[in-house]
């Protein structure tokens, strides 16, 4: 019967500790990197939302309103307005959606080869933006896919959240 020497036992323990330490360091580094990427993506979405808001205000003067059951910015109908979502999406590389209430009325988000008009905002986003009237920044599920996103309430002239 062969016995293992004390040096071999110590070497095995040191190697085991180094392996465990390496795994922990790799896990922590990967987690921190993921958090940094998500924070960067959220900040980009926030800045792109600010730019998109300014662009829409520049292109279409007037207040947001619901007229004849459709969302308008001034005299411009937003429902099915592919031009504005494609322009913003082209400038930012983002997915872009306008909501009337909880429903997408103009979007460049695709679902089964078609624009996802008529689909609904996630419950998490609806609670913050539509019910509480606050901006939402962070992860959001958009037609089954997770994004780092930014949403802001659309308010009518009287301050009511309409989208």
| Residue, of 46 and 41, whose pLDDT is higher | 46
- What distance, in Å, lies between the first and last C-alpha atoms of the chain? 79
Confidence of residue 159 (pLDDT cuts 50, 70, 90): very high
Task: Say what the pLDDT of residue 105 is.
Answer: 96
User: pTM of the entire structure?
Assistant: 0.76
pLDDT at 60: 94
In this prediction, residue 63 carries a pLDDT of: 95
Choose among 107, 109, 119: nearest CA to 78: 107
pLDDT per residue as tens digits for the range 75-129: 999 999 999 999 999 988 889 999 999 999 999 999 999 999 999 999 999 999 9
Q: Using 50, 70 and 90 to split pLDDT, how confident is the model at 1?
A: low
pLDDT band, residue 22 (cuts 50/70/90): confident
Q: Rounded to an integer, what distance in angstroms lies between the CA atom of residue 103 and that of residue 96?
A: 13
H-only helix segments in 60-158: 82-92, 123-125
- If one compares 114 and 44, the residue with the highest pLDDT of the two is 114
| Amino acid 75: pLDDT | 95
Short-list 34, 47, 48, CA closest to 108 = 48
Percent of the chain with pLDDT over 70: 98
Please answer whether residues 98 and 163 qualify as being in contact, where contact means their C-beta atoms are separated by less than 8 angstroms.
yes
Q: What is the pLDDT of residues 53-79, one digit of tens each?
A: 999 999 999 999 999 999 999 999 999
Q: With cut-offs at 50, 70 and 90, classify the pLDDT of residue 48.
A: confident
């Amino acid at each position: 019967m062969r016995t293992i020497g004390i040096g071999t036992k110590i070497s095995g323990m040191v190697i085991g500790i180094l392996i465990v330490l390496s795994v922990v360091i790799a896990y922590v580094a990967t987690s921190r990197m993921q958090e940094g990427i998500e924070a960067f993506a959220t900040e980009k979405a926030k800045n792109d939302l600010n730019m998109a808001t300014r662009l829409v205000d520049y292109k279409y003067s007037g207040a947001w309103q619901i007229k004849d059951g459709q969302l308008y910015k001034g005299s411009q109908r937003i429902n099915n307005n592919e031009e504005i979502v494609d322009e913003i999406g082209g400038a930012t590389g983002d997915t872009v959606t306008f909501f009337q209430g909880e429903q997408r009325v103009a979007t460049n988000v695709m679902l089964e080869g078609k624009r996802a008009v008529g689909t609904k905002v996630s419950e998490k986003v609806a609670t913050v933006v539509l019910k509480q009237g606050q901006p939402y920044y962070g992860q959001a599920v958009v037609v089954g896919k997770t994004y780092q996103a930014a949403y802001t309430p659309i308010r009518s002239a009287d301050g009511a959240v309409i989208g």
